[in-house]
Amino acid sequence: MPSTWTPTSWRAFPVVQQPDWPDEGDLERALKQIASYPPLVFAGEARSLQNALAQVSAGNAFLLQAGDCAESFDDFSANNIREKLRVILQMAVVLTYSLGVPTVKVGRIAGQFAKPRSSATEKIGDLEIPSFRGHIVNDPTPTPAARIPDPDRLVQAYHQSASTLNLVRAFTKGGFADLSRVHAWTQEFVGSSPEGQRYEQLATEIDRALRFMRACGVDTENTSSLHEVDVYTSHEALLLGYEEALTRQDSLTGGWYDCSAHMLWIGERTRQLDGAHIEFLRGVGNPVGCKIGAATDVDYVLELCQALNPARVPGRLTLISRMGADKVEDALRPLLRAVTDAGHPVVWACDPMHANTFTSTSGHKTRHFDDILREISGFVNAHRAEGTWPGGIHVELTGDNVTECLGGADDLQVADLVDRYHTVCDPRLNARQGLDLAFAVAELIRSSGFA
């Protein structure tokens, strides 16, 4: 029987991947300040997302979780947020139209700042300095001073998340996401490309469908679902002090919610069953996710489901596999079978990015579009074989025209990486590659007989 949960009960458990804050007093002050600020999201919204995810777990909807590997304090502008949203909307419209089921849209946005690291320090020449842990902790400049964790950054991350979320809400409810603007979401650098043309064709079909509905007497003007979307926020719940400071009791239900984002996930490096991260997330009412790698075994997954979703609430738990293109099919199948047999209603999502990362001959951390697609293909095959629903994808992308991942419709080469390699962490798909991926995923799922 687990002991009583409180927002601070995680503090009695072993905790990994926390920064070495130089001064406990400064940290306390920053966290206290955040705890006094308004919540970023509301419990009712987190419940709406959970209901939408319940539809995914039942095979009636698809999850698109997408955004930056790590948000940046430097890349913080209306442009940046709008472009990211634009590619997410384009991908969502492609998926929704092609699959014929709703797409649940969740951004890695408005709080995705903290990064786990495989090593606490890195070598720069002869110097050993603390690793970069995301802008919420320290500065990426490779000097000892820049890498000292600074608690003021926690406060800055809160404020940036609040402004980002404000703009996301404005764009999604204020006309930008209107289905009648489906043509207008095309960026210039995408429009002329093959995937851009394909998108234009689909947009024209949607226009015709809307006109057809109007002709049939449907009042499209006054149907708000055609003019607005819900884009939910999510990030890795890594810095537990920060998450605790934004955890609030819902006045309606009395339950506790982590109001830093609608959905939180636990990373591959912090998912110890007896660790602080699972202890913390088991007690909040938000929908939660957990990344699972190729070495994950059946016993572990069943205990994980039991720990995070003992009441077996559909939509509460999303398992995000990140196994690698070569391994996913064989590694995932026994997990699908065991979780289904145990009667746990999870959402299965595919992160095709993180286990397909390598360093190119140019020295850039990169990923190849073909490997990303191959992992999704293996994921879909595993689901087809086990009779389960390949519920969604979890990808790292940006709306900008970066050159960070290889391949895709314009077949980026190693020599191109140096052009516009801007990420503060992992390589992201650019807008064209994102759109390309959406078409390819829809085709994979349909050709597997799912939709």
End-to-end CA gap in the chain: 42
Residue among 89, 308, 339, 350 that touches ligand TRP (CB under 6 A): 89
The partner in contact with residue 89, picked from ligand TRP, Mn ion, none with C-beta cut-offs of 5 to 8 angstroms by kind, is ligand TRP
**Nearest distance from residue 369's CB to ligand TRP, in Å?**
23
Query: Residue 375 is inside which H or E element, if any?
Result: helix 369-386
The partner in contact with residue 52, picked from ligand TRP, Mn ion, none with C-beta cut-offs of 5 to 8 angstroms by kind, is none
What is the C-alpha separation between 139 and 100, in angstroms, rounded?
A: 44
Task: Indicate the residue among 4 and 225 with the shorter CB distance to ligand TRP.
Answer: 225
Q: Does 96 bind ligand TRP (CB under 6 A)?
A: yes
Instruction: Report in angstroms the alpha-carbon separations of 100 from 181, 189, 217, 220, 437.
Output: 20, 28, 22, 19, 17
Phi and psi at 319, nearest 5°, equal -100, 120
**Nearest distance from residue 102's CB to ligand TRP, in Å?**
5
With beta carbons less than 8 A apart as the criterion, state whether 314 and 279 touch: no
The partner in contact with residue 177, picked from Mn ion, ligand TRP, none with C-beta cut-offs of 5 to 8 angstroms by kind, is ligand TRP
Q: Does 102 bind ligand TRP (CB under 6 A)?
A: yes
Q: Does 179 bind ligand TRP (CB under 6 A)?
A: yes
Task: Indicate the residue among 218 and 415 with the shorter CB distance to ligand TRP.
Answer: 218
With beta carbons less than 8 A apart as the criterion, state whether 136 and 425 touch: no
Instruction: Report in angstroms the alpha-carbon separations of 316 from 44, 101, 312.
Output: 14, 20, 8
Residue among 53, 69, 88, 94 that touches Mn ion (CB under 5 A): 69
What is the C-alpha separation between 20 and 28, in angstroms, rounded?
A: 13
**Nearest distance from residue 130's CB to ligand TRP, in Å?**
41
Task: Indicate the residue among 69 and 320 with the shorter CB distance to Mn ion.
Answer: 69
Residue 376: count other Cβ atoms within 10 Å of its Cβ. 23
Size of the site for Mn ion (CB under 5 A): 2
Residue 16: count other Cβ atoms within 10 Å of its Cβ. 13
Map residue 59 onto helix, strand or coil.
coil
Q: Does 429 bind Mn ion (CB under 5 A)?
A: no
The partner in contact with residue 146, picked from ligand TRP, Mn ion, none with C-beta cut-offs of 5 to 8 angstroms by kind, is none
**Nearest distance from residue 229's CB to ligand TRP, in Å?**
4
Q: Which residues bind Mn ion (CB under 5 A)?
A: 69, 426
Q: Which residues bind ligand TRP (CB under 6 A)?
A: 89, 92-93, 96, 102-103, 177, 179, 225-226, 228-229
